[in-house]
Amino acid sequence: MAKTETAEIKEIDVRTVKVKITGLSPVILHRWSEKAKREMLDKQMKKTVKKVAKDPEEQYKDSVYRLDDGSTGFPVDGFKKAMVRGAKQLGLVMTDMRTGFFVHGEYSSKEDRELVRIDGDLSMREDTVRISGATADIRYRGQVANWSATLKISYNAAVVSFDHVVNMLNAAGYGVGIGDWRPERDGMFGRFEVVT
């Protein structure tokens, strides 16, 4: 007969905080539209992709992440990834930080994921971009200026302190950013700071 063992489950000290941030530069949104995803899949499946005329207004609207009430949002994982990169700038171990905290948002049924609500001035921007370093193209995307957000962050206090959480977020805002053309990707957009 097998011996039955019991384990003592140690309680995880999970704490939750809300931290307000404010944008230092506009955030450029880049949601993949259903049309773009379908075209990529068709190309990979060697199907003939029929070219259609570019619709700047449609391309702009498709680039914006939306909460169910129509408000603008940004994926929670974008903030978490930025914070993990910010942890490295503070000398913390990135792999430990990945499992030490989580950013929470509001579930969007349209996006099938959680988004952080972004308050600010949404407008359409036009950019000339290079595809694969060669072909030039014009892209229309959403941009949010004068923005702010409140992040709900849960963390394991045995691994990450409240000071770590706030400082990772602040370091992320200064040198990593969120969205397109952020500092991590050689840009200056999507920067933010913690509101003290």
Distance CA 173, CA 194 (A): 8
How much of the chain, in percent, has pLDDT values that exceed 70? Answer: 91
Token pair 């899949």 is found at 41
Q: CA end-to-end span of the chain, whole Å?
A: 61
Distance CA 182, CA 27 (A): 8
Would the pLDDT of 164 be above 70? Answer: yes
Would the pLDDT of 155 be above 80? Answer: yes
Q: What is the mean pLDDT of residues 36-45?
A: 62
pTM of the model: 0.87
Would the pLDDT of 66 be above 90? Answer: yes
CB atoms within 10 A of CB 74: 23
| Contact by Cβ (8 Å): 106, 154 | no
**pLDDT for 169:** 97
Rounded to 5°, the CA angle 140-144-149 comes to 145
Q: Domains of the chain: which residue ranges?
A: 15-194
Tell me the per-residue pLDDT of 89-122, one tens digit each, with 9 for 90 and over. 999 888 889 999 999 999 999 999 999 999 999 9
